[in-house]
Chain A
Amino acid sequence: MGVLQYVAKRLGQYFAVLFVGLTITFLIPRLLPTNPIDGYIGQIQARANGALSGNDIALLRANLEELYGLKGDVLTQYLSFLKRVIFQFDFGPSFTYYPQPVSQIVFTALPYTIGLLMVSTLIAWFLGNVVGLVAGYFHTKRAASILEVVGIMLYPIPYYILAVTVILVLSYLIPIFPLAPSFPVGQMTLQKAGMIIYNSLLPAITLILAGFGWNILSMKALAVATTEEPYVTYSRLKGATNWTRMTGYVFRNAMLPQVTALALSLGTVFSGALLTEMLFSYPGIGLILRTAASSADYNVLYGAITISIIAVATAGLVIDLIYPLLDPRIRHR
């Protein structure tokens, strides 16, 4: 199969996944027995002490249906939903922060989540693999097994306990980081960027510690198995140095399943965002999702979920496109 064909096939899959994802996000809220507009009109009616006439309500309903894309039967709604989302990335306004458009809310939060979670996932992957590689390659040496202990100790700690412990230690007992971080808004300056990075360090440390242990254990097991492969033995008998064998032979081969694992963990970045951003009051997609869910802000929910679907599918696509560069056996099929 040629390179172009491979890329085309993978892109086709990518768009199919996005399409299915969008359709499901569209359908699920519509399976609910309640109608958000009824609820909203009820709220307004209550606020106006029932002063709204039947005519006003009909007008209000028509306007709201237009605004929130709830006009007509399900099929009409679906088509206009697809048209708006695909061509304009328009989810309508937020209920809670009316009339701020959802896309604006989501795009403000997105860089925070991607910046924090992607970067810390990548760092955890990289550090974990380096430590795991050394522990696995030198598995007969006693000093190397100490490295593995780090993984064994970190891996089983539940994430929320780890997070609370880190907050307790690094911003209460030893107050290096603020307990209630503030994230500046508006025009980005160098000073503001520095403040954002400083305030992101605490959740980043927690995320790295949490992802680190698993990567150590997994890479160590892979490296131990790869060290026994005939080609590693042969390279040793060729007189290749430890460094060549560890990087060019053991790591190059043992990393392949780890890259798959990285793609999978990048895929769960947004579900991790929810907990992290709540615990650290971090203004990302997770926090928005939570606020929107508790205040029945459907449009924001749509926007945040759609952006997660796109991000996860894109991460998978990128990894799949990189993979053949790492493993020639896939490239030349």
Chain B
Amino acid sequence: MIRLNDLQIGYRIGSRVIRAVDGVTLTIPDGCIVGVAGESGCGKSTLMKAIYGDIRSPMALLGGSIDYGMKGADGRPVTTDTIRREWFRSISYIPQSSMNSLNPVIRVRDQFIDFPGTDGNKKRVLERARAYIGKLGLPPEAMDSYPHQLSGGMRQRVMIALATFFEPALIIADEPTTALDVVVQKEILMLLMDVQERMGNTILVVSHDMGVHYQVTDKMLIMYAGRVVEYGDTESVFADPQHAYTKMLIDSLPTIGDDSMRGVLASAAGAGGDRAFRVEPELIEIKPGHYVARPSLAGVAA
């Protein structure tokens, strides 16, 4: 169980402080997949970095605390200051840019053993890793390859293998499928769910794709302007969103067969309906070379 207590994270730029995460208090139960959504700049990446413990200047912990609910090797509870020692032991990370997150001039196998989190006996690690990547749908030869010899999907599988190999309690996945095509995206997400089911760890998934969240997550965390606007079971959040912003995000997903929102700007409709408008078919030249479809406010049933 991870508890965030009034967490405040900011960026210090000169004498200015930009509050990217502005007082977040919530509890993440063990063994569930939590989806994090929100527009760019809402603070979700900052929150993930803070939970991962990667707080480096100009980023700073301004207030509050994180209670990881786990004990380190020395038997004391892990805090923001000591979480680094747990990297790729009990907390791991799946980066966004799988395409270039592997060192291009070093074999994949060597990237399984070049950090302290790994077991001291490198030979044993490699033997186990070779068997392990087979379970994730990678051929054992992938271990002996250089990254450029693997496809994007295979590389992301390697990233997942690296992140899950040490069976961490918490995995942070920062947009793990953005760079991949739709078919591979689905495979990777299924793989992630599979691994989670087997190991029972907690996964935080950041994504802009509400469809991904609906399919994969148990809980949803919606952020806006550095604050959490809605947090709850995914089923419940999607079926009955309470916050206007959550409604907008969900309405931005096109629904097959439902034409009621067609031609209506989703965000405007979600904001209360009074600003909803239809889009006229003709373009008007408003300035030389600048065309716009004039919105008509009349006759719209919000």
Query: A239-B88, A244-B115, A248-B103 are known contacts. Are A234 and B146 too (CB-CB below 8 A)?
Result: no
* Residue A230 CB within 8 A of the other chain: yes
Query: Which residues, 235 to 262 on A, are CB-close (under 8 Å) to B?
Result: 235, 237-241, 244, 248-249, 252-253, 256
Residues from chain B with a CB closer than 8 A to the CB of A239 are 84-85, 87-88, 115-117
Complex Cα spacing A61 to B216, Å: 95
How far does the alpha carbon of A329 sit from the alpha carbon of B100 in the complex, in Å?
14
State whether the Cβ of B93 lies closer than 8 Å to any Cβ in chain A.
yes
- Cβ–Cβ contact B115 & A332, under 8 A: no
Kindly identify which residue among A231, A256, A328 contacts B146, using a CB–CB cutoff of 8 Å: A328
- Whether A230 contacts B146 by the Cβ 8 Å rule is no
Does B97 contact A252, Cβ atoms closer than 8 Å?
no
B117 touching A253, Cβ below 8 Å: no
Instruction: Check A237 against B54 for contact (C-beta < 8 Å).
Output: yes
Give Cα A234–Cα B172 distance, bound, in whole angstroms: 13
A279 CB–B CB distance under 8 Å: no
When A237-B93, A237-B95, A238-B162 are in contact, do A328 and B105 touch as well, CB less than 8 Å? yes
Q: In this assembly, does A318 line the interface, its C-beta being within 8 Å of a C-beta of chain B?
A: no
Any chain A CB within 8 A of the CB of B199?
no
Q: Is the CB of B100 within 8 A of A235?
A: no
Cα-based distance from A26 to B256 in the complex (angstroms): 79
CB <8 Å contact, B95 and A234:
yes
Per the 8 Å Cβ criterion, residues 143-197 of B in contact with A are 146, 148-149, 162
Distance from A289 Cβ to chain B, minimum over Cβ atoms (Å): 40
CB under 8 Å from chain A, chain B span 78-110? 84-85, 87-88, 93, 95, 97, 100-106
Residue of B nearest to A332 (CB): B149
Partner of A329, one of B93, B146, B162: B146
Q: Say yes or no: is A100 at the interface (Cβ < 8 Å to chain B).
A: no
Cβ–Cβ < 8 Å partners of B88 in chain A: 238-239
Q: How far is the CA of A332 from the CA of B111 in the complex (A)?
A: 19
A253's partner among B101, B103, B162 (CB-CB below 8 A) is B103
A35 contacts the other chain (CB 8 A): no
Contact present for B148 and A238 (CB under 8 Å): no
Chain A CB within 10 A, most for which of B87, B88, B114, B116: B114
Whether B115 pairs with A252 at a CB distance below 8 angstroms is no
Chain B residues with Cβ under 8 A from A252's Cβ?
103, 105-106
Chain B residues 258-275 with CB under 8 Å of chain A are: none
Provide the bound-state CA to CA distance between A205 and B162, in Å. 48
With most chain B CB atoms within 10 A of its CB, the pick from A234, A241, A332 is A234
| Number of interface residues, chain A, beta carbon within 8 A | 22
Which single residue of chain B is at the shortest CB-CB distance from A237? B93
Chain B positions within 8 Å of A249 at CB level: 103
A229 CB-CB contact with B under 8 Å: yes
By the criterion of a CB under 8 Å from any partner CB, how many residues of chain B are at the interface? 25
Instruction: Give chain B's interface secondary structure class.
Output: loop
Contact A230 B115 (CB under 8 A): no
Shortest A15–chain B CB gap in Å is 30
* Chain A residues within an 8 Å CB radius of B146: 328-329, 332
Q: Does A108 contact B (CB under 8 A)?
A: no
CA distance A240 to B88 in the complex (A): 10
A229: chain B residues within 8 A (beta carbon): 100
Residues in B with CB closer than 8 Å to A256 are 105
Q: Which residues from B are CB-within-8-Å of A332?
A: 146, 148-149
Partner of A327, one of B100, B101, B105, B114: B105
Specify which chain A residues have a CB less than 8 angstroms from the CB of B102 in the assembled complex.
Answer: 231, 234
Contact residues in A for B103 (Cβ distance below 8 Å): 231, 235, 248-249, 252-253
Alpha-carbon gap, A229 to B97, bound state (A): 10
The yes or no answer to B52 lying at the interface (CB within 8 A) is: yes
* Cβ contacts under 8 Å, B87 to chain A: 237-239
Q: Chain B residues near A233: list those with CB within 8 A.
A: 95, 101
- A244 to chain B minimum Cβ distance, whole angstroms, is 5
Residues of chain A within 8 A (CB-CB) of B149 are 332
Contacts A237-B54, A252-B106; is A230 near B100 (CB within 8 Å)? yes
Contacts of A241 in B (CB 8 A): 115-116
Q: Is the CB of B100 within 8 A of A237?
A: no
Is the pair B97, A244 in contact by a Cβ cutoff of 8 Å? no
B93 neighbours in A (Cβ, 8 Å): 234, 237-238
Q: Are B101 and A231 in contact (CB under 8 A)?
A: yes
| A-B pairs, 10 with minimum CB distance | A239-B87, A234-B101, A238-B115, A240-B115, A328-B146, A230-B97, A230-B100, A231-B103, A230-B101, A239-B115
B interface residues, Cβ below 8 angstroms from A: 52, 54, 84-85, 87-88, 93, 95, 97, 100-106, 111, 114-117, 146, 148-149, 162
Give the B-binding residues of A (Cβ under 8 A).
229-231, 233-235, 237-241, 244, 248-249, 252-253, 256, 326-329, 332
